[in-house]
Amino acid sequence: MSATVTADQRLSQAKRITVGYGFWIFLLSDIVMFACFFATYAVLVGATDGGPDGRQLFHLDGVAIETACLLASSFTCGLASMAAGNRNAITFYVAMAMTLGLGAVFLGMEATEFLSMAARGAGPTRSAFLSAFFALVGCHGVHVGVGLLWLMTMVAQVYAKGFRADILRRLLCFTLFWHALDIIWVALFTVVYLIGVAP
């Protein structure tokens, strides 16, 4: 920032920092909640009660595509936030649409995986391992679903109200949320899927 900013701009930036910091604290508490689900999963991973374990259930090809989708959507979300900072509406809409599409593909693949597991008799009621699995992965999926609703809301707000300071603050929170979901997915595909099928 140059030395010639007005007091109004300075106050607006201070509010942006306060909002971003507050949302960062919320995200950390959300990550602590995920840590509880991860701890539950790690304790119960061997409790299959004679049912199928991860090695029989998980298909890494699908997980690799899901991971690629979420990583690419994190990238396009970053591009959208930069476009919003530059007041570039076309780039913003295109990047947000790509984020929405990639997130929807991720969610669809996860839903298909859950349904096929349940159809094979490996639903959440089969064993403690599967209860913990569906709770952990499902909780992340619910977060992605909420994130997609929030994304569409943000696009509508930018469309209706433009790049106002308050809209940009909400957009900052959404960007933080979406990147945090990708960080949780990194822990998730490593701990659940990769270590689950590793020799």
Partner 1 sequence: MIEPDPLPGVAEVAPGEPPAESSEQGILGYVVGLVLASGLTAVSFYITRGNLFWSPSISTALIVLAIAQMGIHLVFFLHITSGPDGTNTVLALAFGVLIVFLIIAGSLWIMANLNHNMLPMDRIMNMQR
Chain residues that interact with partner 1, rule: CB under 8 A: 1, 3-7, 10-11, 13-14, 16-17, 19-21, 23-25, 28-29, 31-32, 35-36, 38-40, 42-43, 60, 64, 67-68, 71-72, 74-75, 78-79, 81-82, 85-86, 172, 175-176, 179-180, 182-183, 186-187, 189-191, 194-195, 197-199
Cβ proximity to partner 1: between 55 and 121 the closer is 55
Cα–chain-centroid distance for residue 12?
28
Spatial separation of the C-alpha atoms in residues 68 and 74, rounded to whole Å: 10
CA distance 104 to 110: 10
Write the secondary structure of 106-170 as one string of H (helix), E (strand) and C (coil): HHHHHHHHHHHHHHCCCCCCCCHHHHHHHHHHHHHHHHHHHHHHHHHHHHHHHHHHCCCHHHHHH
Find the shortest distance in angstroms from Cβ 147 to partner 1.
14
CB of 117 to partner 1, least distance (A): 20
The helix/strand count (H/E) of the chain reads as 7, 0
Burial 35-73 (b: 16+ CB within 10 A, else e): eebbebbeebbeebeeebbbeebbeeeebeebbebbebb
For residue 148, the minimal CB distance to partner 1 (Å) is 18
- Of residues 122 and 168, the one with the C-beta less far from partner 1: 168
Instruction: Identify which of residues 36 and 146 has a Cβ nearer to partner 1 in the complex.
Output: 36
CB of 9 to partner 1, least distance (A): 10
Residue placing its CB nearer to partner 1 in the complex, 35 or 111: 35
Shortest gap between Cβ of 118 and partner 1 (angstroms)?
Answer: 25
Which CB, 20 or 145, lies closer to partner 1? 20
